[in-house]
Amino acid sequence: DAKTTQPTSMDCAEGRAANLPCNHSTISGNEYVYWYRQIHSQGPQYIIHGLKNNETNEMASLIITEDRKSSTLILPHATLRDTAVYYCIASRQAGTALIFGKGTTLSVSS
């Protein structure tokens, strides 16, 4: 699976959009980009995933560049409860282990 690179930490004001970047320059054609988050002492929570088209669900939007070498997770209106470690993972979709890196610690403050 391709390696991903994320900033160690980010800050965001409550109510503003949080834009979390991820680089995956070695991603292969059959690898999807997955985003999970882990709030302290809980299990990882699935957020969204995509292959090459932008995706949106009730939690977030995922923007993938045309060359697929990077992506951005957007939380449109961050709340204090969005404070968590966010993981970007490049993985084949078919029944494989997810490889978690260190992720980005997002701190949302009022």
User: Which of 20, 11, 1, 19 is CA-nearest to residue 87?
Assistant: 20
Q: How far apart are CA 70 and CA 36, in angstroms?
A: 16
Taking the complex as a whole, the smallest distance from the CB of residue 95 to other proteins amounts, in Å, to 3
* Residue 42 binds other proteins (CB under 8 A): yes
Q: What is the largest CA-CA distance in the chain?
A: 41
* Residue 100 binds other proteins (CB under 8 A): yes
Binding other proteins (rule: CB under 8 A), the pick from 7, 15, 76, 101 is 101
Residue ranges in contact with other proteins by CB under 8 A: 34, 36, 41-46, 49, 87, 93-103
